[in-house]
Amino acid sequence: MYWFATGGPPRASRKDRTGIYHPQTGQPQIMLLSQLITPEAIVPSLKVNTKKQALQELSERAALVSGLPPREIFDTLLQRERLGSTGIGEGIAIPHGKLADAHAIFGIFARLPRPIDFEAIDGVPVDLICLLIAPESAGADHLKALACIARMLRDPKITAKLRAARDVTGLYAVLTGEPATHAA
C-alpha cells in the first residue's frame, strides 16, 4: 500500500506533527492512495496529441468525478502550468491545482498510448499523468499528496507495471497496491 501522511506515528508535540488528523479526536489518520483516486478516475488509454488536449480531457474527467466545472479545473491547471511544467521527468507529469469549491483532495490518473510533449524537465515525452486537485484550504495536505504521488511514480518498478497494465482494474491495482488478476 502507498501511504499518505507522516510515514509513521507522530514523534513530537501536536503543534509539530504533520499529517491528517481526525476532526473530533485529533488523532493522526493515514490516507491511502485509494482515497485520492477511484476506479472512475482512471483513464487507461487517453488519446491526445498535445499537453493542452490532455489537460482538457483530464479536466472533463475530473468534473465528472467531482461535480466541479470543467472549465474552472482546466483554467486552474493552465495557470499552474504557466509557472512551469508539471512534467517531472521519465515520462511522468503531475498537473495540479487548488480550487475554492473542491471539497476534498482527489486525483485522476491517465496512461497515454502515445507519449506527448509536456515540456518536462528532462524533455522526455509523457505517457503517465496523475492530475491532483485540492481545496484551497488544503494547505500542506496538498503538498503531502503531491509528494506521495511523486514518490510512487518515481519508482521504476511501479511505472513499468503501470505501463504494462491494460485496463482500469490493472491500473487501479498497481496504483493502490491491491492485488488484481489483470495487473501486470
Q: How far apart are the C-alpha atoms of 124 and 49, rounded to whole Å?
A: 15
Secondary structure (3-state) at 154 = coil
- Residue 173 has which C-alpha cell? 491495482
The DSSP-derived string for 54-65 is HHHHHHHHHHHH
Residue 160 identity (one-letter amino acid)? A
Count of alpha carbons within 13 Å of 28, Cβ hemisphere only?
19
Secondary structure (3-state) at 105 = coil
139: left (phi over 0), alpha (psi -120 to 50) or beta: left
Does residue 96 carry a catalytic annotation? yes
Q: How far is CA 112 from CA 43, 130, 139, 151, in A?
A: 9, 11, 31, 20
Nearest to 29 by CA among 63, 5, 12, 13: 5
96, 103, 142, 182: the active-site residue = 96
Cα 153 to chain centroid distance, Å, stands at: 10
* Positions marked catalytic: 96
